[in-house]
Amino acid sequence: MKRYRAALIGCGNMSTAHLSALHEIPEIDVVAVCDIDESRLHAVGDAFNVANRYTDYVAMFQAERLDTVSIATQGPQHCAATVAAAEHGVHVLCEKPMALDLAEADRMVEACARNGVKLAINHQATVRPSLKRMRAMIENGDIGDVILVRGNNKSGRKAGNELMEMGTHVFDRMQYLGGAPQWCFAHLTWQGRAATADDAMDSQAMSPSDRASGLVLGERGYALFGMTRAPVGECQFLGYERTVKQVYSVDALGTKGQLSLRGTGTQGGDSDLYHLPVPAFYPPDLQYEALWQRVDVPEELDPGLGQHSITPIVRELLACIESGAEHTCSGVAGRYNLEMVMAMYASHLSGRRVDIPLADRAHPLARSTV
């Protein structure tokens, strides 16, 4: 069995989730951790019994002969750390949001391609068996021709911050079902009116308790996307103050029926994938909740998935390293998710539909505030 030397950059809030997943995979030896804050560095190193500790990730790459690195820092550090890893031949699992703008995302994708290493972005819900089953049912024709893919957000934040937090998860699942985005038409509001460029602010000014995600805009947001496997994808970020996990979902509406995946796939050991064999445009009495049929997904109970949500995405990264295949949550897919965020801003500020990929790779809000 091949063994992999792994390390972690970033000993903040996400470090426990990443290290727990890494320790759950027998083929992985976690040999080093890195953080500029020495108190956090040693607390995490002690908690997970990792002896080699660094405050400089370049020094770590030079010393440790790593195979993989998990980058669990906040967004502003993702690009530089990923590029440095690629230049040292190290495969990368990077936290979301992938980057702060498309220029950074481009550098990350290009550096990893140039150096022949894999890049995966931690949209862990996309690799769950329930979402794979949902896509298989769509491809099998169980709901007829797809007419709409809808992403539903669980709120708890204003739209601007949520786009860079849970929003990229929503977009990743929409993209997995509906294909790559082709265009976007969006509208954002602030304090009950159309948001303007003057309303843009840093994510931590909008919400001091959130992670650093760069410039954001909007209290509420609404968007339509053209996609390669669905005529339209839609989503709303409604800015409710309370988080409602039950509404976090992705839906596919077809000419013969509908599918809805609630949460990340399971609840209390049962699948949270539902099928309604009635088209969306039928009268309301035929959309009655009791008619929805739970789809059995026994793969969700496979012990091989592990106890930690990040474990399956790390396992797939190892498989892709060995096979050369593209990861489900590849850097290219992650860049499209970020592109959907940036396209919402570009569309709203221009008042028109914009094509994807965007020609200008700078942050639309940075362009508008200079």
**Alpha-carbon dihedral of residues 236, 238, 240, 244, nearest 10 degrees?**
-10
pLDDT interval class at 289 (50, 70, 90)? low
Domain interval for residue 99: 4-124+306-330
- Tens digits of residue pLDDT in 151-166: 998 888 999 999 999 9
Q: How confident is the model at residue 370 (pLDDT cuts 50, 70, 90)?
A: very low
Kindly indicate the confidence band of residue 39, based on its pLDDT and cuts at 50, 70 and 90: very high
- Please, what is the average pLDDT of the chain? 93
pLDDT attached to residue 78 = 98
Residues 298-310: tens digit of each pLDDT: 988 888 888 899 9
Residue 287, pLDDT score: 58
- pLDDT confidence of residue 134: 97
Rounded CA separation 291/258 (Å): 11
pLDDT at 266: 67
Is-above-0.75 flag for pTM?
yes
Give the model's pLDDT for residue 181: 98
* CATH number assigned to the domain comprising residue 311: 3.40.50.720
Residues 103 and 238 in one domain: no
Q: Does residue 187 share a domain with residue 204?
A: yes
205-239 confidence digits (pLDDT tens): 999 988 899 999 999 999 999 999 999 999 999 98
In this predicted structure, what is the pLDDT of residue 279? 84
244 and 269 within one domain: yes
Q: Does residue 360 belong to any structural domain of this protein?
A: no
Number of domains composing the chain = 2
Q: What is the pLDDT of residues 238-256, one digit of tens each?
A: 988 888 777 889 999 999 9
What would the DSSP string read from start to end of 17-63? HHHHHHHHSTTEEEEEEE-S-HHHHHHHHHHTT--EEES-HHHHHHH
Average pLDDT (21-30) is 97
Residue 179 has pLDDT above 80, yes or no: yes
Pair (268, 155) in one structural domain: yes
28-34/4-9 β-pairing: parallel
Residues 286 and 228 in one domain: yes
On whether residue 18 sits in a domain, the answer given is yes
| Helix (H/G/I), strand (E/B), else coil: 144 | coil
Contact 5, 29 (CB under 8 A): yes
User: What is the layout of strands, in order, in the sheet containing 91-94?
Assistant: 52-54, 28-34, 4-9, 68-71, 91-94, 119-121
- Is the predicted pLDDT of residue 187 greater than 60, yes or no? yes
271, part of any domain = yes
Query: How far, in whole angstroms, is CA 165 from its chain's centroid?
Result: 8
Give the other-Cβ count within 10 Å of 359's Cβ.
7
313 in the same domain as 297: no
